[in-house]
Amino acid sequence: MSVTVVKSKTKTTGSQVEDLESEIAVKVTEYGKLSDERAPLDKQIKAIDKKMKPLRSELQTHVDEHVGDDEELALKSQDYIAAFGTKGNATSVTDAHSVFQMLEAIEAGLAWQIMSYGITELRKYLTPAQFDKVTNTERSKARGIKVTNIGD
């Protein structure tokens, strides 16, 4: 038995929707109700994230002006401490064709198995020299941030 969860924006035909009169129908109803509850919370979170984004950018700029990429910094206000970590690295594939050939040389079909996965998967199979040949790694602009309420 397959279950199709239908959202209001989804166009369906009669063959796509299965009427259920069972335990699974109860679960579909429960899931739907929870989704309805979650929708306004998601909107609130998006609104808060939109307000936080420029603040985070300003804080990050301040940190970048005062410490190097591999240094951490904590900023303290009356109520909170914001701890900024080091900058990360961003790696991207520059030569997908060569990656494919290298993976296929290791094992037939391997490229098809992992090509939809991330950079971490490539590191598992390619030698460091091969990896460096087909990727580009740059410092990312982002730093991790952890804000702690001093009162907690």
Q: For residues 59 and 84, state if they share a domain.
A: no
Please give the Cα distance from 104 to 111 (Å, whole number).
6
Whether residue 3 is predicted with pLDDT greater than 50 in this model: the reply is: no
Q: What is the pTM of this model?
A: 0.52
Range of the domain at 37: 1-66
Q: 54 and 12: one domain?
A: yes
C-alpha separations of 126 from 107, 108, 118, 133, 137 in Å: 12, 14, 13, 10, 15
Angle in degrees, CA 65, 70, 75, rounded to 5:
50
Residue where a domain stops, chosen among 51, 66, 81: 66
Phi-psi region for residue 141, left (φ > 0), alpha (ψ -120 to 50) or beta? alpha
Average pLDDT over residues 135-150: 77
Question: What's the structural domain count of the chain?
Answer: 2
Q: Is residue 52 located within the same domain as residue 81?
A: no
**Statement to judge: residues 138 and 80 lie in one domain:** yes
Can you give the pLDDT at residue 28? Answer: 82
Q: Are 80 and 129 in a shared domain?
A: yes
